[in-house]
Structure 1
Amino acid sequence: MTTPARPANRHHKRPKGEGQWALGYREPLNKNEELKKNDDGLNVRQRIIDVYSKGGFDSIDPADLRGRMRWYGLYTQRRPGIDGGKTAVLAPEELDDRYFMLRVRIDGGRLSLEQLRTIADISNLYGRGTADVTDRQNIQIHWIEIESVPDIWARLEAVGLSTTEACGDVPRVIIGCPLAGIDSDEVLDATDQVRQIYDDYVGNPDFSNLPRKFKTALSGCPAHCTVHEINDVAFVGVVNEQGQAGYDLWVGGGLSTNPMLAKRLGVFVTPEQASEVYGGVIGIFRDYGYRRLRHRARLKFLVSDWGPEKFREILESEYLGYTLPDGPAPVAPRSERRDHVGVFPQKDGNFYVGFTPRVGRLSGDKLHLIADIAERHGSGRVHTTIEQKMVVLDVAPDRVDSLVAELEANDLQVNPSTFRRQTMACTGIQFCKLAIVDTKDTASHLIDELEARLPDFTDQLTINVNGCPNSCARVQTADIGLKGQLVVNDAGEQVEGFQIQLGGSLGADSGFGRKVRGLKATAAELPDYVERVLRTFEKQRNEGETFAAWARRADDADLK
């Protein structure tokens, strides 16, 4: 792989003083940039093995503890008993517990049964049985002690897994369609490109100091399951006028407190070019990305300031050295639901079966159970999705019914309600130092209540529950987005609650949810609120109208 060269210091018109390397700003302008200049985050691995795992938690350098250890998927988790009102008040050392969250990256969502069982073993041995499937296809384990990390790495790496750059200002997990290579309708199988990009850039010191995190999606999925609209870079399967399958390139998507949809560059990228083009995009981010202010350090701000035309020109002239041909836009996704839940045929005559862990929460024992069920039914792989779901692949036709029955007998539903299928929640205050409210238990209770109150509701409806403003659970793109905050209840008490956004969507009619002034609810009020707004929707909807479309046109009073 040829690393894209850093460009010459050309004086393109850009906002001044943003800390862009390509414009000569090499001195760190904040503590994060200073930390990265002082030592590459990749170097912390050997200190963890040689020093910290032997000396224990108190031996960890604070700059490594709250900075560089993220380069290997390690975050200190929240100390128990600290309420959400103190999240933004306490110093990091007061919020830190002596345990870690460990994020295992699962590029493309691909897991063999051996890999799944290894994660299950680590969960049970070292993580008090915790395991959460995330909306980036990873699995997160909690309660990890620093002394255990070298053995955990050895176990993961023995089966081809890693935590390298699962967090940090680096190229994080490459999300891909879990059905790559088996979906009968896929535009192309992106498996080789996911692997090539991983090999070329993950753990590469040339790309281990980016302005901030860098999120990647790469897929030929006809359902657009990798939500390319909200990634820093996304390669979307298309077929050009000559009948050649390749990728449409999108850049600059992201959510958090300043949500932006990605922009099409309008180019056609062949599968053979994908890794080189990826290198150009990530190189632009490294060299021209804003490093002065942390909250403006995502690629989306650069893309917004430059525009797609200028971004394309810089990519081609300074990083690739050739012009990419124009290409077609992706066709619309084949379904409103992009999660692969249910039973569907593969191109080889077998079937895949997608099922729904409750808001992504599993356990080591449950992961072992899933592997055992899959193996009993002839499958050798279970993949993860970006909707906190999982998919058993390669099931023979005569074994589908028994597989479904066994999954559902263990509360892993293949035919779930809308509410079970499409409610997602981030980690929340139980473990996350940024969170203000509980999410997993709140969302699980909400599912139970809505299933009991609205048993006949079958419309597509996403409910995304987030514990803070950072939108790990993508609240802005949900039909009902719930952003955690403290609110005042009827008794005048400050309690856990949510700001509510309505009508977000991705796909043919992408847009962020609508905010209505004063629209909040306590956690206890959520079931009543959601039931009320859904009953109003059912009364007022036009024929064929989606909840998102209705929510965008409804009167404010009908949304409260």
Structure 2
Amino acid sequence: MTIDTSTRRPARTRDARPRGEGQWALGHREPLNANEVFKKEDNPLNVRDRIEKIYAYEGFDSIDPDDLRGRFRWMGLYTQRKQGLDGTQTSALSDEELEDSHFMMRIRSDGAILGIPQLRALGEVSTTYARDTADITDRQNIQLHWVRIEDVPAIWERLEKVGLGTTEACGDGPRPFLGSPVAGIAADEIIDGSPALAEIKRRYIGNPDFSNLPRKYKTSVSGHPSLDGAPEVNDCSFVGTVHPEHGPGFDLWVGGGLATNPMLAHKLGVWIPLADVPDVWEAVTSVFRDYGYRRLRNRARLKFLLADWGVEKFRQVLEEEYLHRRLVDCESPAAPTTNGDHIGVHKQKNGLFYVGASAIAGRVSGTTLSALADVVEKHGARGVRLTSYQKIVVIGVLEDEVEGLVADLDEIGLAANPSPWRRSTMACTGLEYCKLALVDTKERARALVAEMERRIPELDTVITVNVNGCPNACARTQIADIGLKGQQINEDGRQVEGFQVHLGGGIGLQSQFTETPFGRKLRAHKVSSAKLDDYVENVVRHYLAERTDGEAFATWVARADETALRGEAELVEVDA
């Protein structure tokens, strides 16, 4: 049999050139995914006008899909999860089927002080428009739920009267900034970064030149030696440092992030004066905008560019193409020796006091925020800041008012002397409202705290517990002593809520105790939500029985027997 090859297509030669990643600086301007298309078609900042003039009047069903599931994020709005859908439905249903006709709304604080007017506005908005919901997030936001599109303009008007807002609280732009909760007041502060944060916000939030980045972009500025702004896991962080000749300033750390590919930020080892921080922020952000990957969403964070380039090339491009000058070299700060959650009573450098207090896993309410305003006013405090650990810090308290303020905070559910369990547990939004979640988190964390306080009240050290509803690590699963990543697991032939366990991770103070900041995953080790209390008790009791003098939980994890870490080993009493 003769085969006619006259019409056969010539064999393709394999193109040796690397596939384009959608980098603008290299001429790749054509959108390569649906998100890049809708951003190119209309700057997402323009959606505010449509919300105020069209959607708020015509209702949820009038919203264009690209606005609803895309550009609304630039206004701090996500559709929330339809009630009654369990975690097995998360991957089975489309966004349209998962979403309710109500919104989650994020309100930025950007490290600023929330005085009595701001606290009252937050409380009123929550109770009037959001069914009294409010959560403190680990990005120093206040997060509301049950918001109707018809009420959004009224909410904005109330917030903006006191200097608050939601612009770019989500989306592919400069997400809410992390600042030190004790900026300008802590006795041990290296430098106050709050003026730089305020200037960055003034220049760049709502600026169309920076509203179309490849993905979300997270910033931290803190001059406190505890690294209380979680710089290790932010895209662009300014970290307080001291140059032997120039004095206090900031090092620059870039390319941190968690989710399914966790990476710690790269330390540039430089010294940047306070006045130059906004300009350097603009330069770093411009590198990301122009060179960041836009082809695949799951590779579009700055951390992937740093992983490919390395810190030396990044610094070269930053200096030569954007700053047009060399940065001053300076040794990067060492690991901290103090906890950065600022819980408890502390003396300020001006003789006043600040008081850090904890809700449980960040869950508060509008009623709580209004009551907090009353407490601040009653005791003559200056205001509060939110922390990157879902806590609040009341600042500017007279010594004679401290005791009464602590008692009043406790009365409204904010403990300044919490148990180690309550102090060190965080949780993301979870199945209650989030369309990505696979398990419940907030209520599960609250129940875990209560049960551990009952079972192991004698715990005398910090063991961080981070509860996350999915792999996206909004509650920083991988960098906790006990990190719990929610997933559906098979138990006795049925799907139930459960967690993959990460053990012995940590940043900040905890980093000095860890073998790896991302903790230890045990092969095929999962725990159902129903058995979580027993598991955590078992592991912690093994640690308490086996630890050496002063040994941290993460250090013990690195040497512990795997059966103990799996919660399978019998507990053996150890002689004192």
Q: If the length of structure 2 is used for normalisation, what is the TM-score?
A: 0.93
SS at match of 2:268: strand
Provide the residue aligned with 2:279 in structure 1.
Answer: 276
Q: Aligned in 2, Cα 1:60/1:341: closer, same or farther, shift over 3 Å? A: same
What residue is the counterpart of 1:423 in the other structure? 425
Would the aligned equivalents of 1:371 and 1:382 in 2 still touch at CA under 8 Å? no
Corresponding position of 2:299: 296
Report the CA distance between 1:266 and its aligned residue: 1.6
Q: Which residue type is aligned with residue 517 of structure 1?
A: R
Residue equivalent to 2:447: 445
Tell me the CA shift for residue 493 of structure 1.
2.6
- Indicate whether 1:199 and 2:197 are aligned: no
Aligned partner of 2:82 in structure 1 is 79
Quote the Cα distance in structure 2 between the aligned partners of 1:332 and 1:487.
37
Aligned: 1:483 with 2:504? no
In the alignment, which residue of structure 2 is the partner of 1:9? none
Matches of 1:308 and 1:109, distance apart in 2: 31
Superposed CA offset, 1:31-78 (max 9, x none): 011110111100000000010001000110000000000000000000
**Aligned equivalents of 1:453, 1:483: Cα separation in 2:** 23
2:561 maps to which residue? 555
CA distance in structure 2 between the aligned counterparts of 1:411 and 1:283, rounded to whole angstroms = 43
Where in structure 1 do 4 or more consecutive aligned residues deviate above 2 Å? Answer: 13-16, 507-510
Gaps of 5+ in 1: 1-12
Between the aligned partners of 1:468 and 1:451, the Cα distance in structure 2 is 26
C-alpha deviations, 1:141-190, integer Å up to 9, x for none? 00000010111111111110110000000001111001111001100111
| Equivalent position of 1:127 in the other structure | 130
Q: Which residue of 2 aligns with 1:502?
A: 503
Spell out, residue by residue over 1:497-552, the C-alpha distance to the aligned partner (whole angstroms, 9 max, x if none).
Answer: 11101000113436101100122111111110001001111222222211111112
SS at match of 1:283: helix
| Secondary structure of 2:355 counterpart | strand
Separation (CA, whole Å) in 2 of partners of 1:331 and 1:83: 44
Partner of 1:545: 551
Give deviations 1:262-284, integer Å, cap 9, x for gaps.
00112211111111110110000
Which residue of structure 1 aligns with residue 493 of structure 2? 492
1:528 to 519, 534, 554: 534
- Matches of 1:330 and 1:536 in 2, distance apart? 34
Give the whole-Å Cα distance in 2 for the aligned partners of 1:14 and 1:511.
36
**2:365 aligns to what?**
363
- Measured in 2, the distance between the counterparts of 1:288 and 1:549 equals 39
Q: Distance in 2 between matches of 1:236 and 1:194?
A: 12
Query: Which whole-Å CA distance do the structure 2 matches of 1:150 and 1:395 have between them?
Result: 35
Greater Cα shift, 55-64 or 14-23: 14-23
Contact residue 178 and residue 384 of structure 1 kept, 8 A: yes
Query: What is the aligned partner in structure 2 of residue 10 from structure 1?
Result: none
Tell me whether 104-113 or 433-442 shows the greater mean CA deviation: 104-113
The alignment yields a C-alpha RMSD, in angstroms, of 1.2
Structure 2 counterpart of 1:409: 411
Q: 2-side partners of 1:311 and 1:16: how far apart?
A: 20
SS across alignment from 1:107:
coil
- 3-state DSSP of counterpart to 2:111: helix
2:96 to 93, 98, 103: 93
Letter in 1 for 2:162: V
Q: How does 1:213-362 map to 2 (within 5 A)?
A: 213-335=216-338, 337-362=339-364
Q: Distance in 2 between matches of 1:554 and 1:346?
A: 40
Long gaps (5+) in structure 2: 1-15, 567-576
Match of 1:457 among 444, 456, 459: 459
CA drift of 1:328 comes to 2.1
Q: Distance in 2 between the 1:67 and 1:451 partners? A: 42
Deviation at 1:19, TM superposition (A): 0.5
The AA in structure 2 aligned to 1:431 is: Y
Question: For residue 73 of structure 2, what is the amino acid of its counterpart?
Answer: R
Partner of 1:400: helix, strand, or coil? helix
User: In the comparison of the two structures, how many residue pairs are matched?
Assistant: 546
Letter in 2 for 1:523: S
**1:15, CA displacement in angstroms?**
5.1
After TM superposition, give the deviation of residue 374 of structure 1 in Å. Answer: 1.3
Pair 1:432-2:438 in alignment = no
1:109 and 1:177 in contact (8 A); partners too: no
Tell me the distance in 1 between the aligned counterparts of 2:153 and 2:465. Answer: 38
SS of residue matched to 1:398: helix
Per-residue deviation, 1:259: 0.1
Range moving further from structure 2, 550-559 or 40-49:
550-559
Number of the residue aligned with 1:138: 141
